[in-house]
Structure 1
Amino acid sequence: MSTLPGVCRRAAPVVEIRGLCTEFDDVVIHRDIDLDIEVGQMLGLVGGSGSGKTTLLREIVGLLAPSKGTVRLFGEAVLDADPERRRRLRRRFGMLFQQGALFSALSVHDNIAFPLRELHTLDEAMITDLVLLKLGMVELEARHARLMPAELSGGMIKRVALARALSLEPELLVLDEPTAGLDPDRSENFVKLLRMLQRELGFTVVMVTHDPETLAGLATRLAVLADQRIVACGTAAEVAAVDHPFIRNFFSSGRAAAVRQGTS
């Protein structure tokens, strides 16, 4: 697919955004954004500080309503007026927040169990089995289930938050700065874990990150948010060919050279 300014379109999208505008008071954050993310895609959303990347993530999952336009997940409106349809839709995606956002008063077990208990269909024995299964998926042990968030390292917090995000076996995983705060070795290991899980489970990913190594390790496509819109979307080679100041600066970095290779 050739790179087109302002649009990224694929068949049967998991995420479909049309004409999205975001304003806070008199400040325009997004203007007429169109973006599609297809099944199995791992899309990296990049842009300068204050460009509205995290705001767009929150609109994708319905945590924030845009001023104008539509957002659909799996063909359904994120802000559907029917509460039951919205609950069913929320079960189909998981979100990993920048700092993990674990409940500080709950143990690791109860953090991961929280969305499972919200289903009101599983007994505690089944929930415990599922919690231990998810811990194993993120390469943690059963003994870690007893720990409190304050007892966890930064890398462990990320893994527990990932286990919670995957607890309902989502079809879409939304990542906000997934490796922020991790040292290079822990960041590399976390990227490898995410890549392995995506290959095994086949979920779609949309993520915001400032880290070129994370983009190179995970993203199959890039979307660039600048000037209040998506200015380019495609492989790194396609995006790099677009003449835009942010894109030129981004790819002029030595660290960003790996991104071009990683998503080509």
Structure 2
Amino acid sequence: MSQSAAVAPVELRGLATRFGQTWVHRQLDLRVEAGEVLALVGGSGTGKTTLLRQMVGLLHPAEGSVLLFGEPLQQGSRADQTRRRQRMGMLFQHGALFSAFNVFDNIAFPLREAGVRDEGLIADLVHLKLAMVELAPEVAGRMPAELSGGMIKRAALARALALEPELLLLDEPTAGLDPDLSAGFVRLIQALHRRLGLTVVLVTHDLDTLAALASQVAVLADGRILARAPLEEILTVPDPFIQRFFLSDRSQVALARGRGNR
């Protein structure tokens, strides 16, 4: 089967998002192919994170549809919808760990919600996910308030990977991290992408992160996808936002630095 005929992990068809009288997206189409790392970029207020929330099912489209692995995300029985959602994981911008749970129970939460009842198996899986994100076993007993920013990101990523998803959504994965921690987190995502064969969709404004991770870039403007292509092709699109975002001297330095980390 050719790639064009293959089922896409996520596809948006004619998607529209509205809050009250404000339309955020109108007739938006986007297809993410298996194995891609697609970066969503756009100006402030263009609905990048909102688009991720549509993909994960936290929002319902006003028009159009979200397909997950070829199936409408919002259709079918509750069991059908749950099964689809278990094929993806999401890392929220600030981690969104449950403050009343320690790290172990945060990572165990999706396993228990999925019906895993063997606590020995849960413990093995939690410690496996901690190792995957390069956190020491003793971190499992800590509360979120006891973690550094980098550790929160890694613990939240471990939770996002708990059910071994095929699709991973990342909202500003390196926001709030200093350059060294950011570079380390990018290397971790690169390694997980290769090792697990993940399809990744990320929202980022950080050009180092984008250049290091993304195989494709989709530019969001005026409620639709303005351009979607590899980074080098995006740089040639004669659009004012693209010129400002990517082609300033400062941006060019960041892109060169990011390319060096691929």
Using the size of structure 2 for normalisation, the TM-score is 0.94
1:205-259: CA deviations, max 9, x gaps? 0010110011011111000001111000010121122111111111223343354
* Rounded Cα–Cα distance in structure 2 between residues aligned with 1:89 and 1:158: 24
Change (3 A) 1:74 1:259: farther
1:148-194: CA deviations, max 9, x gaps? 00000000000000000001110000000001111111001000011
* Rounded Cα–Cα distance in structure 2 between residues aligned with 1:27 and 1:108: 38
Offset, 1:140: 0.8
Cα contact 1:213–1:255 (8 A) shared by 2: no
Q: Structure 2 matches for 1:1-264, cutoff 5 A?
A: 11-257=6-252, 259=255, 262=259
Tell me the SS of whatever aligns to 2:9: strand
* Rounded Cα–Cα distance in structure 1 between residues aligned with 2:241 and 2:6: 28
- Unpaired stretches in structure 2, ≥5 consecutive residues: none
- Unpaired stretches in structure 1, ≥5 consecutive residues: 1-8
Offset, 1:11: 4.5
Q: How many corresponding residue pairs?
A: 256
Of all paired residues, the percent bearing the same amino acid is 59
Tell me the SS of whatever aligns to 1:13: coil
Query: Which aligned segments of 4 or more residues in structure 1 are displaced greater than 4 angstroms?
Result: none
Cα contact 2:235–2:247 (8 A) shared by 1: no
Cα contact 1:236–1:259 (8 A) shared by 2: no
Q: CA RMSD in A?
A: 1.7
Change (3 A) 1:255 1:113: farther
